[in-house]
Structure 1
Amino acid sequence: MVRDAKVGLGLRREMLDEFCHSVPNAIDFFEVAPENWMTFGGKFGRQFRQLTERHRFFCHGLSLSIGSPSELDVGFVKQIKHFLDLHGIDIYSEHLSYCSAGGHLYDLMPIPFTDDAVMHVAKRIKRVEEILERPFILENVSFYTAPGSEMTELEFVQAVLNEADCKLLLDVNNVYVNSINHQYDALKFLKAMPTERIAYLHIAGHYEEATDLMVDTHGSDIIDPVWQLLEHCYAHHGVFPTLLERDFNIPETQVLLQEINQIHDYQAQALSPIHRSA
């Protein structure tokens, strides 16, 4: 089940000067939140266009609010399409959550794990796909409470993917964080994800508030249990493009490259004939 051994990095505005001059060979693609870049003009806009003309980009949205009870913001989706078309970006993913309900909530809120929610989200995903003219890729999210749930997180994610017939952005760190916070088997959850739906992966660091409470921050180094989960993911599902998320406490590029190269190493191990025949 060999897929695509590529490693990417989330692009931040403060990286533009450096990467417009030179992008390390270890970085195969960049990921951006379109909301953070759609309105840029001037120097930042020119630098961003320079990079998109030379390098592969993925988009990972923040504000679509796919699970919101409010009407789908079609105008916003059309803005996303224009941005994707302008920069030749064919990969668009979003969170299995919502962030608006009569106004913006400024956080990614958990969708109740119910049959009604499955149908609601799936219908909206199909509408977004029609507008974007691209496959919709849905990310499993970290969450800290599950109000009104009638099924497990695993059952809910599987049901939405099946009903919407969409792709999956499998966030390995979110699986680990949720497994600690909600006390389930991370490896079992990971293996239950449908291989044929996986488009790419995320991996990141998080904050340990307590031994039984992890906070998904993308602001620290990746810890060993998450690395091990990534290794298991490649072994079970095959190798997919993998994105290193680092949203704050961002170190120098040479430090980021240590984790990027570690992902490359895990991919190479998974693809080696010895490893595959073991």
Structure 2
Amino acid sequence: MTAQDIQTHNEPTPLGCDPADLAWVENTVRQAGTSFASGMKILPPMRRYGMFAIYAFCRVVDDIADGNAPLATRTQELNEWHARIARLYGAQSVPQPEPLERVLLATINFFALRQEDFTAVIDGMMMDTQTVIVAPDEATLDQYCDRVASAVGRLSVRIFGECSDDGDKVAYHLGRALQLTNILRDIPEDAARGRLYLPSDLLDRFDVPRDAIKALDAPGLEGVCRVLAARAQDHFRTAFATMKTCRGRAMLPARIMGASYEAILKALCKRGWSAAVLRQRPSTTLLDKARWFSLSYLP
């Protein structure tokens, strides 16, 4: 995507941004190959580029947290993003703003996004940076899910056009459903980084070691993951039910994203979490996603 592709026939550009800046955030989304892209593409230009900016922001801070730079460097870079966000909301100007900051500023102003949600996302990345998360307690796991997923949802629903308390409730439950699904899908990859996001009380209940590598071969891992999968399914169910109290068109992208991830959760449950299959990536089809999208409208 180029700036020329975005601005044609002298039409005003989305969010009043420079076409080159818009092309930058869009290309960030394209290069990431995110499964959320389908939910973004159906949005009208203003909302679509707003979501591209949110995703690009999340991608940048996540790459910092997961990068190979020394801890001090990653911490400094995340703290700098705290300062950048504060400047976008403050009266002071941003020195030499980058394309992402310029589009974020336009998005923040147009959709009245809340600073605390950006702060929460960065704090979630800090959790991954400052300590290696292994067998967290329930409160820590829930806080992590809220920061890295539900906070993104709270930003997203406002861009979708739903600024109500029910919109925030959708973000609360759908964010947790998506993040728990990620955790259940990525257990081997997380273990390779020394991470184990499964909660300590469930590990203890099923006699699974509180060790990222040893947990992979534990017979009780299946039981832990089944309980967590049921929890994720409950969050999906509540999120979809709450969407019915919101504006239907505003919730369409959230339904698409939710259905895509619910299909992944169902595929994981079908595959299971035994040591023999744990490293097999679950596959989903467009038909699977369409099925769960349709079912999301049912009572």
| TM-score (norm: length of structure 1) | 0.35
Q: Which protein has the bigger strand share?
A: 1
Larger Rg: 2
Q: Which protein has the bigger helix share?
A: 2
Greater relative CO, 1 or 2 (CA 8 Å, sep 6+): 1
